[in-house]
């Protein structure tokens, strides 16, 4: 995948300003930056939830920004999205919430009636078991903790059988222990399934512990792209703009043993 000059303007405000980068092999990528830097808008444009003002997102030789109708929906299935607020249906049980990830592959009539086959039920249960919450399959989603709900959302993304996962602040509303579990789960998916996982993250420590590559954004522009080891104090100041922001970014969600045990970040190729 390569992103070229991706831009989004809301009137006179440019939220994403000519961002370009390439991912030529499966990577765990963290996007960091201050609130309002354009991180969420960037992911939403890649997934086609927000229309771009300009630029390209080319995957397998196609500009996904030009896709329409069924082809666009197929891309949204291939590029699964995980949100900060989980986006579950509270009154439905967990396994049904997971199976909703398959609706993009159904016809309209079948989708309206939420008709799922045995294979889809088994796929959903397998995903829940993989995320360690199969025991909660028949509970209503609203009865789960925040960390459990986020794991349900990740299981739902897995049932889409995606080619890429985008996670928009997946641990921002979680306690540190739940954040560890969620980030470890995303890292395991990247390694086991050889999927690119791109996460918007609040904290430097999280990006350093779990990601192979870090992209830093400031005022809608890409200001850093490299391995976590290259995040020197000078670079961090360029991304966050002030020492106070740096301190908050590195300590607001301190992860525990799971982060320490996470695989060492691999050196990332930095494309032109």
What single string gives the DSSP state of each residue in 101-147? GGGGGS-HHHHHTT---HHHHHHHHHHHHHTT-GGGTTSBGGGS-HH
The b/e string for 235-267 (b: 16+ C-beta within 10 A; e otherwise) is ebeebbeeeebbebbbeebebeebbeebeebee
Q: Is residue 221 part of a domain?
A: yes
Q: What average pLDDT does the segment 142-158 reach? A: 95
Q: Is residue 268 part of a domain?
A: no
Q: What average pLDDT does the segment 74-100 reach? A: 93
What is the pLDDT, as a whole number, of residue 90? Answer: 94
Q: What average pLDDT does the segment 99-125 reach? A: 67
More confident residue, 105 or 28: 28
What is the pLDDT, as a whole number, of residue 241? Answer: 78
Give the percent of the chain with pLDDT over 90: 76
What is the pLDDT, as a whole number, of residue 261? Answer: 35
Q: How many domains does the chain have?
A: 1
Q: Would the pLDDT of 50 be above 90?
A: yes
What is the reported pTM? Answer: 0.85
Question: Model confidence over 245-256: pLDDT tens digits?
Answer: 455 455 544 454
What is the pLDDT, as a whole number, of residue 120? Answer: 82
Q: Is residue 131 part of a domain?
A: no
Q: Is residue 246 part of a domain?
A: yes
Q: Is residue 244 part of a domain?
A: yes
pLDDT band with cut points at 50, 70 and 90 for residue 195? very high
Q: Is residue 97 part of a domain?
A: no
Give the side-chain half-sphere CA count within 13 A for 149.
Answer: 22
Q: What average pLDDT does the segment 52-61 reach? A: 96
What is the pLDDT, as a whole number, of residue 119? Answer: 83
What is the pLDDT, as a whole number, of residue 104? Answer: 55
CATH number, residue 196: 3.40.50.300
Q: Is residue 66 part of a domain?
A: yes
pLDDT band with cut points at 50, 70 and 90 for residue 78? very high
pLDDT band with cut points at 50, 70 and 90 for residue 126? very high
Q: Are 208 and 224 in contact (CB under 8 A)?
A: no
Question: Model confidence over 88-104: pLDDT tens digits?
Answer: 999 999 999 999 887 65
Q: Would the pLDDT of 262 be above 90?
A: no
Q: Is residue 202 part of a domain?
A: yes
pLDDT band with cut points at 50, 70 and 90 for residue 269? very low
- For residue 230, give its domain range: 2-87+164-261
């Amino acid at each position: 995948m390569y992103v070229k000059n991706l831009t989004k303007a809301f009137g006179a405000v440019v939220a994403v300003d000519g961002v370009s980068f390439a991912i030529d092999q499966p990577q765990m990528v963290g996007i960091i930056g201050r609130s309002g830097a354009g991180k969420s808008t960037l992911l939403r444009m890649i997934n086609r939830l927000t229309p771009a003002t300009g630029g390209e997102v080319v995957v397998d030789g196609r500009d996904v920004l030009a896709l329409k109708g069924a082809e666009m929906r197929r891309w949204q299935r291939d590029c699964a999205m995980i949100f900060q607020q989980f986006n579950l249906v509270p009154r439905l049980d967990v396994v049904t919430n997971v199976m909703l990830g398959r609706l993009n592959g159904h016809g309209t009539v079948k989708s309206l009636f939420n008709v799922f086959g045995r294979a889809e039920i088994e796929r959903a249960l397998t995903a829940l078991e993989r995320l360690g919450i199969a025991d909660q399959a028949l509970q209503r989603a609203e009865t789960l903790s925040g960390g459990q709900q986020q794991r349900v959302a990740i299981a739902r993304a897995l049932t889409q059988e995606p080619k890429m996962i985008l996670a928009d602040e997946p641990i921002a509303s979680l306690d540190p222990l739940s954040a560890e579990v969620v980030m470890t789960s995303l890292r395991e998916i990247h390694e086991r399934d050889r999927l690119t996982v791109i996460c918007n993250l609040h904290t430097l420590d999280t990006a350093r512990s779990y990601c192979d590559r870090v992209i830093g954004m400031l005022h809608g522009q890409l200001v850093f792209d490299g391995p976590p080891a290259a995040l020197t104090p000078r670079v961090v100041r360029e991304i966050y703009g002030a020492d106070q922001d740096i301190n908050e970014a590195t300590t607001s969600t301190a992860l525990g043993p799971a982060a320490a045990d996470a695989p060492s970040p691999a050196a990332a190729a930095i494309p032109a």
